[in-house]
Chain A
Amino acid sequence: MYELSGVVKDYKKGRTIVHALRRVDMVIEDGEWLAIQGPTGHGKSTLLQILGGLDRPTSGTVELDGMNLTRMRETALTKVRSRMIGFIFQTFNLIPTLNALENVEVALVPLGVHGAERRERAEQALASVGLGDRLRHLPSELSGGQQQRVAIARALVKEPKVLLADEPTGNLDEGTRDEIVGLLDKLRRERGLTLVLVTHDSTVAARARRIGQMRDGLLTVGQATSNHPA
């Protein structure tokens, strides 16, 4: 469970200070799917990065399962990221020189999983996203949707508690978008994942249990919809 309290993030841009987040208070329950919407440059990605321990807030606290991420040393934070948090990016961020299998294996390296076990788990993860027959393909040999599936497999192979997705369907056509969102929802439910998804796309956001709106660094989270199970 995430608990955010009074989270502020300011950037210095030249001589001006950009207030990316202005006192964000929020609780995200385990297994919840929260979609965050809002115009570009209003703090959505910043919030996601702070949730993922990729950035630290200027003030306020972020707790994940009782661990204060804002006070953690970098090495401990790295460990949390490697074990508990999966990331999915709009541009997939696959390593171009590694094939699909190796790209997924990369996520198991910091966990010290070696050799055959690492390969087996990566193969299973790719099979679970429907790419069991594309193991040896390089990213350049895969379609956008397939690349995002590899990225999802990479995020899930370490069996994280939280999945943070930044515009995961932003680079995909509608058909592929629906496929990917469906896949994420399915995996979330199967694995009991907490899913925080940033999107411009209202169709995608509509599938979430709760929707938050970011405007000028302020987050407004709506009520949970009853038709979507947690």
Chain B
Amino acid sequence: MFLTYLRRELRRRMRQAIVIALGLALGIGLVITVTAASNGVKNSQTDVLHSLFGVGTDITVTKPPASGQTQSIGIGIRQQVKSEVKGGSSVSAVNVNVNQLLNSQYSTLTSAQLAQVTRIHNVTAAVGGLALVDGTVTGTIPAASLGKGQGKSINSNLTENSFTVDGVDLTHAQSGPLSTAKITSGTMLTAADTNADDALVDSGYAAQNRLHVGGTVDVGGTTFKIMGIASVPQSGSPPNVYIPLAKAQALGKTGSTALTNEVNTIYVTAASASDISAIQSSISQALPGVTVTDQNNLASEVTGSISSASTLANDLGKWLSVAVLIAAFLVASLLTIAAVARRVREFGTLKALGWRSRRIIAQVMGESMVIGIVGGAAGVGLGFAGAALIGMLAPPLSATVGANDAASIASGSAGNQLGNAFKAVTDTAHTVSVKLTAPVTIDIVLLAVVLAVAGGLIAGSFGGWRAARLRPAAALARVE
């Protein structure tokens, strides 16, 4: 009788049932689409962060550069100019040819500090790396006369060439910058290359500079053989050249200080995602002054259209879905109450016949639940359609992780121009382009089912509450 009564009643007010179901479908469809889009943006962010951060790396540890650290190239130039000037008040023309592998972005961390991080509870791996810049400045500084202790602006004709270099610990390549790299030609560097003058070149940089496997690249004054061309997924902006860490430590300098046994980035892998927060705290305690970054920190620094999409999905989309859903629930509840109001006499009759209130409530709620489930099913369909539309129509998203603040390099007369040239190189912003998809997962479908049931229950509860409150005598006295 329950099902017969329910079926007939829904058929009687089919138009109203369709309106309620469509309202719920719209709300649920929107929630699914927005949630799927939000997941898609998250996935895209994860892809981006993996490409920028490194798969298997949960945390990176760096230390901000010390004050004055970025003047190193100026020192190089000044040293050369100084060697040409023998204490006189005038300077003859100076031919400049400086090549340095510089640590300009970060302060260094010692191997003891790396070991400290390795010993932290739930750290499964901690790998050191060196992010450096290879800079070459060539040209001539024209003759000029200088008073003692004077600085003077000199119009020089200097050209600069620079590229980024990562020193990679090849014994632990599963973490760090090479973890996401794919070799498009040649071979990957291995642990056997730890002390070799072998290098990998990024595919973009290789194409730009016509470098190829078997060729050579000069880093810090040493010629490295190109063993492979590496590509980072999602077209990230990786280092231009990868060389073994030991070589980078031997060739690189911070100012005039060698980098022996030092690193400037530590890539940390946690035992599980839930440990990341605790590990971050432990690192901050163990190494005061360092910057501890995880993917979430990095995500907050991501800008570009992916960030806008994320904001749109999380803020506008979420609230729009919630608003539509609330409206749908409200409409469903009001229409159900209205339907109950029209059936007061009917329910009064049933009460007179001995039907308990709870049976009548069950009848009303059953009807609402069926409408909710139909609305939910339609909503899932709408949600899938919306997600598919996003996949088809959404433009590619770009993600940009903020530029390094390695910044101003030089001071002093000749150094300024060189410093500006280097600043352009070291201020690299990493931009990645990703395609937005809106994956509808089983979780989202379950969410839709829960919402549909909730919608039905809410609407049915209001209707049922109204029906339960009816006094049979008053209900029968109602004139229709």
- Spell out A's residues near B (CB within 8 Å): 45-46, 49, 52, 54-55, 75, 78-79, 81-83, 87, 89, 91, 93, 95-98, 102, 105-107, 109-111, 118, 154, 158
| Min C-beta distance of A78 to chain B, whole Å | 6
Complex A-B: 24 CB contacts under 8 Å = A46-B473, A54-B472, A54-B473, A54-B476, A55-B471, A78-B354, A78-B355, A78-B356, A81-B352, A87-B349, A89-B349, A93-B349, A93-B476, A97-B5, A97-B11, A97-B12, A98-B5, A98-B8, A102-B4, A102-B5, A107-B353, A107-B354, A109-B359, A110-B359
A98 contacts B351, C-beta separation under 8 Å: no
B354 contacts A102, C-beta separation under 8 Å: no
- Spell out B's residues near A (CB within 8 Å): 1, 4-5, 8-9, 11-12, 345-346, 348-356, 359, 471-473, 476-477
Nearest 7 pairs of A and B residues by beta carbon: A82-B354, A97-B8, A55-B473, A110-B354, A93-B349, A54-B472, A54-B473
Instruction: Chain A residues near B359: list those with CB within 8 A.
Output: 109-110
Instruction: Chain A residues near B9: list those with CB within 8 A.
Output: 97
Instruction: Chain B residues near A96: list those with CB within 8 A.
Output: 12, 346
With CB as the reference atom, state the residue of chain A lying closest to B343. A95
Q: How far is the CA of A105 from the CA of B353 in the complex (A)?
A: 11
B356 contacts A110, C-beta separation under 8 Å: yes
Q: How far is the CA of A118 from the CA of B4 in the complex (A)?
A: 14
A95 contacts B353, C-beta separation under 8 Å: no
Q: A97-B8, A102-B1 are in contact. Are A49 and B473 (CB under 8 A)?
A: yes
B352 contacts A87, C-beta separation under 8 Å: yes
Q: How far is the CA of A109 from the CA of B359 in the complex (A)?
A: 10
With CB as the reference atom, state the residue of chain B lying closest to A108. B1
Q: How far is the CA of A44 from the CA of B354 in the complex (A)?
A: 22
B476 contacts A49, C-beta separation under 8 Å: yes
| Min C-beta distance of A81 to chain B, whole Å | 5
Q: How far is the CA of A54 from the CA of B11 in the complex (A)?
A: 30
Q: How far is the CA of A110 from the CA of B362 in the complex (A)?
A: 13
Q: How far is the CA of A111 from the CA of B356 in the complex (A)?
A: 11
Instruction: Chain A residues near B345: list those with CB within 8 A.
Output: 91, 93
| Min C-beta distance of A90 to chain B, whole Å | 10
With CB as the reference atom, state the residue of chain B lying closest to A81. B354
B473 contacts A78, C-beta separation under 8 Å: no
A79 contacts B352, C-beta separation under 8 Å: no
Q: How far is the CA of A111 from the CA of B354 in the complex (A)?
A: 8
| Min C-beta distance of A155 to chain B, whole Å | 9
A83 contacts B354, C-beta separation under 8 Å: yes
Q: How far is the CA of A76 from the CA of B434 in the complex (A)?
A: 69
A82 contacts B1, C-beta separation under 8 Å: no
Instruction: Chain B residues near A97: list those with CB within 8 A.
Output: 5, 8-9, 11-12
Instruction: Chain A residues near B5: list those with CB within 8 A.
Output: 95, 97-98, 102, 106
Given contacts A95-B5, A110-B359, 20 further A-B contacts (CB under 8 A): A49-B472, A49-B473, A54-B472, A54-B473, A55-B472, A55-B473, A75-B356, A81-B352, A87-B349, A93-B476, A96-B346, A97-B8, A97-B11, A98-B5, A106-B5, A107-B353, A109-B1, A109-B355, A109-B359, A110-B354
Q: A55-B473, A82-B354, A102-B1 are in contact. Are A95 and B349 (CB under 8 A)?
A: yes
Q: How far is the CA of A52 from the CA of B473 in the complex (A)?
A: 10
Q: How far is the CA of A110 from the CA of B351 in the complex (A)?
A: 10
Instruction: Chain A residues near B476: list those with CB within 8 A.
Output: 49, 54, 89, 93
With CB as the reference atom, state the residue of chain B lying closest to A138. B8
| Min C-beta distance of B360 to chain A, whole Å | 11
| Min C-beta distance of A161 to chain B, whole Å | 13
Name, among B8, B9, B349, B354, the residue most crowded by chain A CB atoms within 10 Å (CB to CB).
B354
With CB as the reference atom, state the residue of chain B lying closest to A94. B349
Q: How far is the CA of A95 from the CA of B173 in the complex (A)?
A: 77
Q: How far is the CA of A97 from the CA of B352 in the complex (A)?
A: 18
Q: How far is the CA of A111 from the CA of B310 in the complex (A)?
A: 59
Instruction: Chain B residues near A49: list those with CB within 8 A.
Output: 472-473, 476
| Min C-beta distance of A58 to chain B, whole Å | 13
Instruction: Chain B residues near A110: list those with CB within 8 A.
Output: 353-356, 359
Instruction: Chain B residues near A91: list those with CB within 8 A.
Output: 345
A81 contacts B353, C-beta separation under 8 Å: yes
Q: How far is the CA of A86 from the CA of B160 in the complex (A)?
A: 104
| Min C-beta distance of A159 to chain B, whole Å | 13
Q: How far is the CA of A111 from the CA of B1 in the complex (A)?
A: 13
Q: How far is the CA of A158 from the CA of B359 in the complex (A)?
A: 18
| Min C-beta distance of B370 to chain A, whole Å | 14
| Min C-beta distance of A120 to chain B, whole Å | 15
Q: A97-B8, A98-B8 are in contact. Are A106 and B352 (CB under 8 A)?
A: no
Instruction: Chain B residues near A93: list those with CB within 8 A.
Output: 345-346, 348-349, 476
| Min C-beta distance of B350 to chain A, whole Å | 7
Instruction: Chain B residues near A105: list those with CB within 8 A.
Output: 1
